[in-house]
Structure 1
Amino acid sequence: MKLHTLSIALLSVTMSLNLHAADTLTSAAKADQKQQLQHNSQREAGFKMTEKELSAMKAKLVAERDALQKQTDSLTQTFSQNEDKLARLEEQLRLESGSLGEVFGVVRQNAKELQSEIHQSVTKTDRNQFASVVDDIVAAKSLPSIKQLKGLWQAFEEQIKASGEAASTQIKFVDGQGKTEQVKAERIGAFGLVTDQGYVDWKGDKNEAQGFAKQPENGPTLSSLSALNQGGIVNMVVDPSRGVMIDQLALEPTTMERLQAGGVVGKIILGLLVIGIVIALVRGTSLALARQKIRAQLKNPQNPGNNPLGRVLGVYSKEQNRSVESLELRLLEAVVDEQSSLEKGLSMLKLLAALAPMLGLLGTVTGMIDTFQVITQFGNGDPKVMAGGISMALVTTVLGLVAAMPLLLAHNFLSSQAEHIRNILEKQGIGLVAAQAEKDQTVNHSAPVGNAA
């Protein structure tokens, strides 16, 4: 009984605790639900407020759009009206002006050309007094007046007059170091300015002059033009392009620059040319001395000297007691030895003459390869980019031909000189053999007669 009572008590306590816990959970859920409802209410209120603000902003933008559209329509209508009005006025102006409109167009065009001439040419150093009239005509929006037309005509007349006379003036000159100074100059019509240094490059936009990198040959100077101011006649070089042709002189390469454009192959060709010239000079001097000594030896054959012919004669004097066949062989040997000495270096000269154009061809091929590589990298739009390879290709060809021609001529001349000396030696040797044969024949014929006696 006691155990049953205890179980009932425990069960009662457990049920009480479960009921209390359930009540607690229900209260918490209600509190969370209430808080969630409050948060949703706040968000809905915010959304409604944002919606009102956006609606108000939209209405404002729509109003502004409508206002701008009205303004655009009004401006478009005004523009159309102004355009129609302008077209009617232009047509009225064309009808009223008639052919004068075309005349005034030509006047304005020529005024622009004259304005450029006045402001850019060297005559600007002597300011055209009607230049302001020309500026007014160019800048005017209306038709020029009679006064302006007369001023334009006078400006043309003054410019033409200035272009046909020489006058002394003062100009601002900028030297190579950037220093500016006032110098005296002589204006040659509208073509150029001449100072003590020669022609100067006039910069009309800056009102200053600069020196050219290179002056033309026999170009005028300030001192050489002194006779012009006295009404005399002076022969001088005039650049009608107003400095463009003189400016191109700086781009013309010098002889040294042309040689440098040949590159390594060009230097090798020049080296071969120098070697060939040295060989030609040495052998030419040697052959000239040999010919001079041979001429002297021919006048005195009894005393053999230290020269080609003297050495051949010396062989004859040593071989007089031998037979004709032996003497002939000895003389032939001496002539062959002298021929080898006379032709020494000529084979090398011939080789250099043949090698020079081959090297020129090698330089040409090398230069063309460089040109094609440049075209591959940069294209062929700018010829200056390809100028290096083309210069090497052409310069080496020219150097090869220039080197080959004098070497070939020198080889031909020296070979003919050596051949001439060899012919003299052979002729003298044959004469000696003939003399020895006649001598032996005389001895053989005289010997029996002596025995008989």
Structure 2
Amino acid sequence: MKLRRFFCLFLSVACLGGIAQAQDDAASLQEVAQRREAQLADALERLRTLRNDIEAQQIPLAQRLQDLDAQIRERQREVERRQRIRDNQSVELDTLRQRVSDRQRELDYISRTLLPEYFANYDASLSAGERATAGEDVRQYNLFLEKPDTSETDRLQHSLALLRDSWAQLESRLGGKRYAGEALDPEGRVISGRFVQTGPLLYFAADQGELAGLAEETTALNATVTPLSTSQNAHIVEVAQAGRGTLPVDPSLGNALAIEQTRDSLTEHLEKGGIWVYPILLFALAATLVAILKIFQVYRIRHPQPMAIHDIVKALRAGQRDEAMRLARSQPEPAREMLVAAVEHSDESVEMVEEVMYESMLSTQPRLERFLNVIAVTASAAPLLGLLGTVTGIIKTFRLMTVFGAGDPKPLISGISEALITTELGLVLAIPALVLHAMLSRKVAGVMARLEKASVAFLNGLSRKSLNQKAS
């Protein structure tokens, strides 16, 4: 109870002390509030002033900001433009560098490959008369390129100079030109004169003498003159001297003339065949003579008409032997001999007459076939002789090859000619001989068949006569 009272007393004292303290704190708070209100009013005043200042400066600052933004955008565009220019210039520079590199390679290819190749072809196209002038320029150009200290500029300048000269040289060919020079005559002597060139055709006319003709290139340094006909040479001399006239033209560029020069006469062709040509020619002569004689003999034979045989048999049936003999002797050979013998033995048996007629045919056949074996032997032996000549020519060729080697073909021509010409002649002889033999043999066989037919007709008629006599 006492404790309760004490606790209540304590609470009362504490409450009184708190009330007194609260009163003091309230007075302090009021002062603080008044100060804060004064500060707030001052701050608001400053804020209002600041806002007024800001509002006064906001428009110029916004304008300034816009100006700065515009400047920034302008600078950005300028930067972008300059960047594009720089990029474009970089690309163009790379492109130019690539073009320069490409042009340099093209220039190197032209100066080191195309131009030397062109000049080589140009030098090869020069005629024998032009080699003394234009050919010397090409040689000097090649010597200049071989110098170790030759610069690319000098090389190009000399190439262009020679290129201009070559074009002028080629253009001069189109309209034709004349120039002095030297050539070789057919005997190999050097002759001074004038060349006439039009396109690929080259002519030469000597200053002294009548030498003129086509100028042909050979292994010699100078051209060789091939004379033409007298009238053609006169035209060439006229053009060479006067610069105008008519020139003979060879469209084959000398090939036709070269082929014409290689043609041999028959005698020259046979001489190239060697010794074995002569046996072949002997066989050819013999076969030709025999063929002519046999053709003249066999193809002149005429055969009796069937009515003539009938008339002879009819006369024999009538007992008119003299008339039958007259009719038999009027028939062509070889039937005449057979019919005359048959009429002479007509009184004998039919078997005897048949034997007489067969004997007459046997004597006629050898006469018709006489010497045909010469043609047959010629047809068989001629190719063998040609083959023998071929073997002989090949042996000769090998012998020449052991002496001269295989580099120069001229020493081998005689052996090859002998090897081929004999074979040619053998075949040329054998083929006609074989055909003639077959033709003549067939003709003889036909004659014998007609004789046999005539004999059968005569014997048949004679058999009917014998039968009639027996019947009577």
TM-score normalised by the chain length of structure 2: 0.56
Query: 1:281: how far off?
Result: 1.1
Q: What is the correspondence of 1:341-420 to structure 2 with a 5 Å cutoff? A: 341-376=367-402, 380=406, 382-420=408-446
Unaligned runs of 5+ in 1: 1-94, 448-453
**Aligned match of 1:335:** 361
The answer on whether the counterparts of 2:204 and 2:213 sit within 8 Å (CA) in structure 1 is yes
Change (3 A) 1:198 1:278: farther
Does 2:448 correspond to 1:422? yes
Query: 1:122: how far off?
Result: 5.5
Change (3 A) 1:180 1:132: closer
**Aligned match of 1:79:** none
User: RMSD of the alignment, in Å?
Assistant: 4.7
Whole-angstrom distance in 1 between the partners of 2:404 and 2:184: 37
Query: 1:315: how far off?
Result: 2.1
Change (3 A) 1:418 1:370: same
Query: Which of residues 271, 285, 293 is equivalent to 1:274?
Result: 285
Which whole-Å deviations, capped at 9, do the CAs of 1:185-218 have from their partners, x for residues lacking one? 7534134337796533258997x653338x8x9x
Whole-angstrom distance in 1 between the partners of 2:299 and 2:174: 64
Which whole-Å deviations, capped at 9, do the CAs of 1:308-366 have from their partners, x for residues lacking one? 12222222332222221111111111112121111111122112211222222322333
More displaced 10-residue stretch of structure 1: 423-432 or 171-180: 171-180
Query: Which of residues 206, 210, 226 is equivalent to 2:224?
Result: 210
Query: 1:276: how far off?
Result: 0.7
Change (3 A) 1:421 1:156: same
Residue identity in the other structure for 2:297: S
The answer on whether the counterparts of 1:123 and 1:189 sit within 8 Å (CA) in structure 2 is no
Q: What is the correspondence of 1:52-451 to structure 2 with a 5 Å cutoff? A: 103-105=110-112, 109=116, 113=120, 116=123, 120-121=126-127, 124=130, 140=144, 143-144=153-154, 151-166=161-176, 175-176=185-186, 187-193=197-203, 198-201=213-216, 209-212=223-226, 236-239=250-253, 255-291=266-302, 294=303, 302=327, 304-305=330-331, 307-376=333-402, 380=406, 382-445=408-471, 447=472
Whole-angstrom distance in 2 between the partners of 1:395 and 1:317: 58
Change (3 A) 1:185 1:157: closer
Change (3 A) 1:204 1:330: closer
Whole-angstrom distance in 1 between the partners of 2:355 and 2:155: 114
Whole-angstrom distance in 2 between the partners of 1:382 and 1:427: 69
Change (3 A) 1:150 1:323: same
Whole-angstrom distance in 1 between the partners of 2:412 and 2:219: 34
Whole-angstrom distance in 2 between the partners of 1:230 and 1:377: 53
The answer on whether the counterparts of 1:266 and 1:396 sit within 8 Å (CA) in structure 2 is yes
The answer on whether the counterparts of 1:374 and 1:385 sit within 8 Å (CA) in structure 2 is yes
Percent identity of equivalent pairs = 23
Which whole-Å deviations, capped at 9, do the CAs of 1:382-403 have from their partners, x for residues lacking one? 5444444343333323322222
Change (3 A) 1:147 1:105: closer
TM-score normalised by the chain length of structure 1: 0.58
Residue identity in the other structure for 2:214: Y
The answer on whether the counterparts of 2:173 and 2:197 sit within 8 Å (CA) in structure 1 is no
Whole-angstrom distance in 2 between the partners of 1:168 and 1:440: 104
Whole-angstrom distance in 2 between the partners of 1:132 and 1:180: 20
Which whole-Å deviations, capped at 9, do the CAs of 1:384-441 have from their partners, x for residues lacking one? 4444434333332332222211111110000011111111111111111111111111
Residue identity in the other structure for 2:384: M
Residue identity in the other structure for 1:271: L
More displaced 10-residue stretch of structure 1: 393-402 or 163-172: 163-172
Unaligned runs of 5+ in 2: 1-100, 206-210, 310-326
Whole-angstrom distance in 1 between the partners of 2:127 and 2:109: 28
The answer on whether the counterparts of 2:129 and 2:181 sit within 8 Å (CA) in structure 1 is no
Secondary structure at the aligned position of 1:192 is classed as strand
Change (3 A) 1:266 1:183: same
Secondary structure at the aligned position of 2:330 is classed as coil
Whole-angstrom distance in 2 between the partners of 1:172 and 1:386: 33
Q: Which has the larger radius of gyration?
A: 2
Secondary structure at the aligned position of 1:394 is classed as helix
Q: What is the correspondence of 1:14-29 to structure 2 with a 5 Å cutoff? A: none
The answer on whether the counterparts of 1:133 and 1:151 sit within 8 Å (CA) in structure 2 is no
Residue identity in the other structure for 1:124: E
Whole-angstrom distance in 1 between the partners of 2:284 and 2:345: 45
Change (3 A) 1:331 1:358: same
The answer on whether the counterparts of 1:122 and 1:204 sit within 8 Å (CA) in structure 2 is no
